[in-house]
Amino acid sequence: MFYYLNNFLLYSILGFLYENILHLITSGEIAQNPFLGPWMPIYGFGIIIMIFLTRFVFNRFKMPRFLKVISLFLLVIFILTILELIGGIITEAIFHKSFWDYSDMTFNSGKYICLEVSLVWGVACLIFLYLIKPQTDKIVKKIPHFITIISLLLFIADFIYSFFLK
């Protein structure tokens, strides 16, 4: 359980950093974030989904590695695009504003999803699973439980404040 919590928290923070660096480069501003803390949980959820897919679906089926990679790429595009759509709808319903908008992208489907970004999710998944995750697993598995618990409590407090008290 701590392995999954640590991955969720780590990649929520890395997602926050990624979003802010990308947004700073492209617009000169820091990205909007519904949370006070340095996390974007949509990235944490996406990573957990990818870990479950590889562990409990693709590792159970005997198929050539190439077919496994292509299947994972396509499935992740579909699942993470749906996650992004749901996340956009929920955050707009709660905060009455959009934290991202792909309306100006060529292959958009509304403001929350577009083919260009979905393809990036697929490529990012493969980079994550085959290059980054083996390295971060060495760290994630060594994080003391009390640090995970404290971080999770801070995240939950931030979630409650940001979505219910703000």
Least Cα distance to 1 among 148, 133, 112 occurs for 148
- Classified as helix, coil or strand, 114 is strand
Structure tokens at 58: 């693709």
> CB-hemisphere CA count at 13 Å for 93?
6
Over residues 49-62, the pLDDT tens digits come to 888 888 877 777 78
Q: Do residues 144 and 2 touch, judged by C-beta distance below 8 A?
A: no
Q: Where are the domains of the chain?
A: 2-165
Amino acid (1-letter code) at residue 76: V
pLDDT band at 21 (very low <50, low <70, confident <90, very high): very high
pLDDT at 31: 82
- Helix axes 115-127 and 65-95, enclosed angle (nearest 10): 130
| Whole-prediction pTM | 0.84
CA pseudo-torsion sign 71, 7, 128, 31? positive
Question: CA-to-CA distance for 120 and 30, rounded, in angstroms?
Answer: 21
Over residues 79-129, the pLDDT tens digits come to 989 988 998 898 888 878 787 888 888 888 888 999 998 999 899 888 988
